[in-house]
Structure 1
Amino acid sequence: MLPEGTHQASHCFAFERDFVGSWRCIPLCLRRKLDLAGTKLRLNHWLALTEPERQQLVLWDDSPAALEAMATFLRERTSGMADGGVRPMAIPTAAPWQHAGSPPAELCDSAASLGHPQLPGQWTSLSELERFALCKLARPGHDHHNLEAALVEMLP
């Protein structure tokens, strides 16, 4: 679970530490903000940004007004890139990570297979960012290589 007082808008997990600082991958805290802003930022876009710009995006607030400003910034900043600009996407309103109800079955199955059958009982105590991270790491087609590390970090 996130330490008390941790602001989920810019929290990077310990299992992400191999790329934090160099920002060679998009951290999950920013991926959450991008989803909430309805913005699809590809890795090519991310890597074309300067390191200070990447740092700025990681530290960007996640209030609705700030997310709208971030989406505008990214549209303007990427509009002239060789691969084209960022693309709009639907803003999720009922994704499993947005509600503390119960975790998706595929996540429970993956967690149990990795030795974490307690996930369903602990789901409600996780932050939205933690639920987002677990859902993203367990989604079909993802390599799942950080899922076990995430479960160890988030579940007591």
Structure 2
Amino acid sequence: MSEASHCFAFEADFTGSWRCIPLCVRRKLDLSGIKLKLHHWLALDQGERQRLVDWPDGPHDLQAFAVHLKQRTADIADGPVGELPIPQLPPWQQPKPLESVTAALHAMGQTMNNEQWQQLSELKRFALCKLARPGHDHHNLAPALAEFGIT
């Protein structure tokens, strides 16, 4: 399975039903400049959500992904998806972990050096950036660290 459609074990409580947007889709959204809200996601049937999970993540694929979501949500009662700037060098592609990641790890008594960060896959680094965001409840951060072999 490609990283483009990989779901983590700590997401298992909603995989299959897709009641939440999995991180692999959230990464594609960020890379394609699309703001998909949960109400948009839930307005799609389960098969459509699965299609977005399975969508490839090459540059042309991400452009098609954005076009598809704009078209698909154009008639949703709450309005279409929003657009975001596409990051030139996303934080999860940086050579060292974000301060928010190191701060969240520190609060849990963990550390991560640049080499450990660089050894993680892009999707795992993306997950840590999202799970360690300030204001996020961080409840999946410890399971993610365990799953990624960071202890």
> Structure 1 length normalisation: TM-score?
0.91
Q: Is residue 2:59 matched to residue 1:29?
A: no
Q: Which runs of 5+ in 1 are unaligned?
A: 1-5
Q: Is residue 2:96 matched to residue 1:102?
A: yes
Q: Which runs of 5+ in 2 are unaligned?
A: none
1:142 Cα deviation after fit:
1.1
* Residue identity (%): 57
- Aligned equivalent of 2:140, options 136, 142, 146: 146
1:96 Cα deviation after fit:
2.0
Q: Is residue 2:1 matched to residue 1:10?
A: no
Q: Please give the per-residue CA displacement for 1:10-65, whole angstroms capped at 9, x wherever unaligned.
A: 00000000000000000000000011111110000000001000000000000011
Question: How far apart, in 2, do the equivalents of 1:133 and 1:119 lie?
Answer: 17
Give the length in aligned residue pairs: 150
Q: Please give the per-residue CA displacement for 1:116-143, whole angstroms capped at 9, x wherever unaligned.
A: 2245441010011110000001111211
Structural mapping, 1:46-57, within 5 Å: 46-57=41-52
1:94 Cα deviation after fit:
2.1
Higher RCO (C-alpha 8 Å, min separation 6): 1
Question: How far apart, in 2, do the equivalents of 1:47 and 1:90 lie?
Answer: 24
Residue aligning to 1:123:
117
Q: Is residue 2:60 matched to residue 1:69?
A: no
Amino acid at match of 2:107: S
Q: Is the 8 A contact 1:15 1:150 kept in 2?
A: yes
Bigger CA drift: 54-63 or 118-127? Answer: 118-127
1:83 Cα deviation after fit:
0.7
Moved over 2 A (4+): 118-121
